[in-house]
């Protein structure tokens, strides 16, 4: 059995272009000082990391599959964020780091359950758990709520960029619609 030749595919290129556009958008907003201020904290309106990860996870072989992946990503991000906000509000009332630790475990369980109830694939449900953990544990106090909101906005932006890039690539090769669907680039 011969080893598979490693090549760059059109899907790889679309992913890279989508990631680059999200990164450039975040850099541009940062350059012009467009941030959300919460106390002394300044949060990115488009979180570079979040938008880029959405591109990596949602960009698929065609617009239909990319849209489905994007919808799943938005569902799990929203559910993880909502459960995270609930835990943040309870944590604010309790103010006990030991209690937060227990709530993080319960929150992950609830996020997994809600994502399964929303009928997203289980691996996506686990990524929803990652969103929950990031929202509930990354910052402190109510700044976590703002982080959750801008995480959802950034995910939406990443999904929109993926859809645009996938659509543009498919239109660019109208005469051969499969050209941008997994074919490798020739050197």
Q: How many Å apart are CA 178 and CA 31, to the nearest integer?
A: 38
In a domain, 74, yes or no: yes
Considering the chain, what percentage of its residues have pLDDT values greater than 90?
A: 76
* pLDDT class of 172 with cuts at 50, 70, 90: confident
Is the confidence at residue 110, as pLDDT, over 80? yes
In a domain, 5, yes or no: no
Highest mean pLDDT among 7-11, 102-106, 172-176: 102-106
Is the confidence at residue 11, as pLDDT, over 50? yes
pLDDT tens digits, residue range 23-48? 999 999 999 999 988 777 788 899 99
In a domain, 48, yes or no: yes
Query: Which helix (H) or strand (E) element contains residue 42?
Result: strand 41-44
In a domain, 17, yes or no: yes
Is the confidence at residue 182, as pLDDT, over 70? no
Is the confidence at residue 142, as pLDDT, over 70? yes
Q: How many Å apart are CA 59 and CA 64, to the nearest integer?
A: 10
Q: In this predicted structure, what is the pLDDT of residue 114? A: 98
Domain count, the chain: 1
Query: Which residues does residue 42 pair with via DSSP β-bridges, in sequence order?
Result: 37
* pLDDT class of 2 with cuts at 50, 70, 90: confident
In a domain, 32, yes or no: yes
Q: In this predicted structure, what is the pLDDT of residue 141? A: 86
Domain residues for the domain of 82 are: 10-180
In a domain, 119, yes or no: yes
In a domain, 85, yes or no: yes
pLDDT tens digits, residue range 51-81? 999 999 999 999 999 999 999 999 999 999 9
Q: In this predicted structure, what is the pLDDT of residue 185? A: 54
Between the alpha carbon of residue 131 and those of residues 73, 108, 165, the distances in Å are 10, 9, 25
Q: How many Å apart are CA 21 and CA 166, to the nearest integer?
A: 13
- Mean pLDDT for all residues in the chain: 91
Question: In angstroms, what is the C-alpha Rg of the chain?
Answer: 19
In a domain, 2, yes or no: no
Which residue do the tokens 């556009």 mark?
A: 21
Q: In this predicted structure, what is the pLDDT of residue 187? A: 43
This prediction's pTM: 0.87
């Amino acid at each position: 059995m011969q080893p598979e030749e490693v090549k760059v595919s059109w899907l790889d290129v679309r992913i890279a272009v989508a990631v680059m556009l999200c990164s450039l958008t975040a850099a541009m907003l940062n350059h012009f000082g467009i941030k959300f201020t919460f106390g002394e904290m300044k949060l990115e309106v488009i979180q570079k990391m979040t938008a880029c990860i959405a591109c990596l996870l949602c960009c698929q072989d065609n617009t239909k599959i990319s849209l489905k992946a994007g919808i799943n990503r938005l569902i799990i991000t929203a559910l993880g964020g909502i459960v995270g906000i609930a835990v943040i509000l309870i944590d604010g009332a309790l103010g006990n780091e030991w209690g937060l630790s227990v709530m993080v475990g319960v929150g992950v369980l609830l996020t997994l359950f809600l994502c399964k109830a929303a009928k997203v694939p289980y691996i996506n449900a686990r990524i929803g758990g990652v969103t929950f953990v990031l929202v509930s544990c990354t910052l402190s106090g109510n700044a976590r709520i703002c982080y959750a909101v801008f995480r959802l906005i950034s995910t939406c932006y990443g999904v929109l960029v993926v859809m645009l890039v996938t659509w543009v690539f498919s239109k660019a090769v109208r005469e051969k619609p499969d050209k941008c669907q997994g074919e490798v680039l020739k050197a």
